């Protein structure tokens, strides 16, 4: 499956102060689709919302195949492997997600967000020691990564080691 449009060209719009404003998309964010009509999707990414042309987006159901095609065509496109892992994760196929995150991390060992995502997948599978290892690596790579500390606390809570789950104050 070929990409329909270069990510730098994809924009979505909304209204602000009675003026239409456009936002460029970057880094292939994951969007929630709120509604659909006449070939358009109303999307939200946690920060912005607006209407986009449906054909400019890949839905989660189609994403693993879409990103597989890109990665198979050029294994140097590791971003596609990462996005496929995210798609598997969103579909609840955690074993596939973990496998792709692991392959991705073999090629990008300093990507904190990949450790966070794989750690979360391990956590969802109740593989607490593996999750803890990933969150610790994320903290080692970026000691200011607050999400890693919170996730690590959740692992300790899952392991019922409550004394280790207390929050850490960052300086």
Predicted pLDDT of residue 72: 96
CA separation, residue 91 to residues 42, 62, 95, 113 (Å): 20, 10, 11, 19
- Catalogue all structural domains in the chain, each as residue range(s) with its CATH number: 7-56 (no CATH), 63-164 (1.25.40.10)
pTM comes to: 0.73
pLDDT in tens, the chain (171 residues): 334 444 444 455 556 666 666 555 555 566 777 888 888 888 877 777 778 778 777 778 888 999 999 999 999 999 999 999 999 998 999 999 999 999 999 999 999 999 999 999 999 999 999 999 999 999 999 999 999 999 999 999 999 988 887 655 544
| Residues 89-109: b if buried by 16+ CB within 10 A, e if exposed | beeebbebbbbbbebbbeeee
Residue 153, both tokens: 């606390």
Sign of the CA dihedral with 110 first, then 91, 122, and 106 last: negative
Residue 45: name the closest of 19, 26, 72 by CA: 26
Rounded to a whole number of angstroms, the CA Rg of the chain reads: 18
């Amino acid at each position: 499956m070929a990409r329909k449009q270069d990510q730098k060209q994809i924009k979505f719009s909304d209204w602000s102060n009675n003026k239409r404003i456009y936002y460029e998309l970057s880094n292939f964010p994951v969007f929630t689709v709120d509604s659909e009509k006449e070939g358009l999707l109303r999307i939200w990414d946690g920060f912005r919302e607006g209407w986009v042309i449906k054909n400019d987006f890949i839905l989660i159901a189609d994403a693993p195949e879409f990103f597989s095609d890109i990665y198979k065509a050029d294994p140097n496109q590791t971003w596609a492997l990462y996005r496929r892992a995210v798609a598997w994760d969103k579909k609840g196929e955690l074993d596939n997600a973990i496998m792709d995150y692991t392959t991705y991390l073999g090629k990008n060992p300093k990507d904190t967000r990949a450790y966070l995502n794989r750690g979360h997948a391990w956590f969802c599978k109740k593989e607490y020691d593996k999750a803890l290892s990933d969150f610790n690596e994320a903290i080692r790579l970026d000691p200011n990564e607050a999400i890693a500390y919170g996730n690590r606390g959740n692992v300790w809570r899952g392991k019922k080691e409550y004394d280790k789950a207390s929050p850490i104050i960052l300086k």
